[in-house]
Structure 1
Amino acid sequence: MTTLVGAELPITPPAFIWGVDLPKPPSIFEFVNTKMLFDMLRPLQEEHMIIVYFASELTAKDFSCLEPNCFEFLRQVKPFNFYSQVHRPLLALQRMSEGSVIWEERETLLQLPCQRNKIHAYNFTDRDLQDHDQLMKAVSNSLALCPLLQIYTAHSEEIWAMKRRHDRFYLKGSRRQLAREAPNNPAALPTVLRHTTGLISIGKIVLAEEVKRGLIVNYKRSEVIIVDEAPLRLNFVDDTNIRNGFVLTISTSMGPLYIEVLPTMGNWRISRIVFIGNVTFIPRDLLFYSQKFSLCCRCFTTYSELGARLSLYMFHMDVVFNKYYSALDPDYVPKECWLCEQFLTPGLTQGIFSAFILLLILAIGTSMLLSIGRNKRFSSANEPELYVKGYAER
């Protein structure tokens, strides 16, 4: 709380005003300041009785609830005006009444007589929004014949909403200070799996399965746990030479995960991943890297025909060709990284090529239009004059 007070967070709770027509807010992103609220309500004060309800905690999100009994009364009142952010509404009311706002108890509020040019206020002490709605309905029914102007707002915003709106890095000073203050939450270390001729390091694996509900498509995500006690297995595609392709097998909580790597013009290419009951996951982009490097990917995703997705995070793969080295050696240093981030994807390349063809056609067409009627060759003095046959010679 001391930090929040020191940061001078804005006091801009929402306000629901009904019983009169007021100007619309300029924008949902702009708050109504105290002077604007004062100027809107001051001309109406003499002919109306004003009752203000202050909730202890209230945000604009509370008015967007979907339950059928949520603000059942407020949804039916007309005319009404909603302002998502009002700066210090109590201050505007105090200026209107010159500080003489009448604070009421619950029992006296239900028995108020009609008093024009008076401002009455009531404080809610809980978060029971349904009870707030019922009380405001009861007060409105008891003063049905009185010209009422009622306001439902709060003294300040909900404390957690204020914290979310404020930049936490601004409060803390810098990201480095945040990192120093949270030493008990270190980043999860990747899982390293070794084989004589191969090495894999994975941060985590996430499986997203497609769940259809009518026209809506959702995804059920689950993290695949790697069984690091099981060794990494590497098998050749043709059982003769690793340079003809290989398959890496990782043991997980959902069964074995197979990564097939095939040669492509002197490079390696991840062709597919087989997982959960022989379901094939294929990457949309061509994931290849040179045989002189190791593959390093912050994240790459493969897709199945059933709509599921398999994402591997912080993925590092290296293959050893030299028979004098072994990836089982703790001192083995992997080859330099070949990053899988692609600056020119196949889709982007096709788009650039298509745009170039269209611009070329446009340029040729424009040049043809501009050259219409333009003589490219002048007549010579030695040539006879052009003879045109007329109608009289027929």
Structure 2
Amino acid sequence: MAKNSIITILFLSLISTGHGTPVLIWRAQVNQKTVFPQVRQHEFLEEVKPLLETRMVAAFTYDKLSLSSFRCEECFPFLSQESPAVFYANVEKADKSLLGLKPKAQLSVDIDGKLNSTLTCGAGKLYMISLDALGKASNPMKRCDEAMKKITESANCPDVAYLFMGKEDEVVELSGRLYQHNQISFYFTQIQMQSADFIEDIILLNMNVSGTDPMLSVELKSNNTDTSLSFHVQLSSGYFEIRTFYYNDTAYYVSDLYAPQTNSYSCGKIVLRNKDKGILTIRRLQIQYDQERHGDFMFKDAWTCEGFTSPAIISGLFVTAILLGILFLGIGMLMSVQAPTKYDNPIGPGLHINVTD
């Protein structure tokens, strides 16, 4: 790959908006594709099938690979040096297309990047190698790069084409989880931690609540790791409020997260930033404080995070005010139109009409 390939990939990732998956092909001559439109399945197969006629093809797949993964230039020291290489930013169901070619074997690597079998060189052989186990590493993209380097060097096949691509899953609504303990009910669909090197989904299983009114401490933890998310719920003047989230003891501050105790708090997306640690994103958050819980649980009417004075609403009111002003001005001008009281005759005296009320 040329020296500026990663920069090119970054540019493509910023402008591409399709719903496919990125595919990187190296050590093979294939046709370059434009970012728009999306590369369809048959177009992708038209590039891969000729490769199988003369060489072996090994496709590395990683389920969380996306265009944003390539923004980490330091994560791909091996791929950055590979040439020739072609990058497809948006391919429709690339992994399913290869499965239709009936791979010789579907292999995988363990957490250490070790392949569970060996590659046998030969034209017409298609291997699909899953790197999903590396998703638990601290820097998954760099570990994928290291694993691909190790596998390609150990295979040492003379005629081989390599692919690195993501997996396109069916678009489904994320199913959330409801945590309940004593007075607190806490629901969300996804918590994501994003740093300069990786994006990680945070899995939390247990919730513990301690303290008494007016300050309750809530902690959510994972069973098999030290990962934890904690926050304090402060009660005051009939409202409950959260000011700070702590992810692994790192503080992420939030503003305007409060609601009356007679309501639940709801927000589609909360983005918390820490300039040293990264971005913490909570999706479809809903939280409720109950002094006493009776019968079947239902969230109370939502007090949403979308305030009346949001930028979109202010812009709408401003535009509406301008249009109404123009409308009233036009109506006023039309109402002020009167019949003429004087008619000038260029060849005779002017005609005057006396108008009396």
Range class of TM-score, shorter chain: 0.3 to 0.5
Determine which structure has more spread, i.e. the larger CA radius of gyration: 1
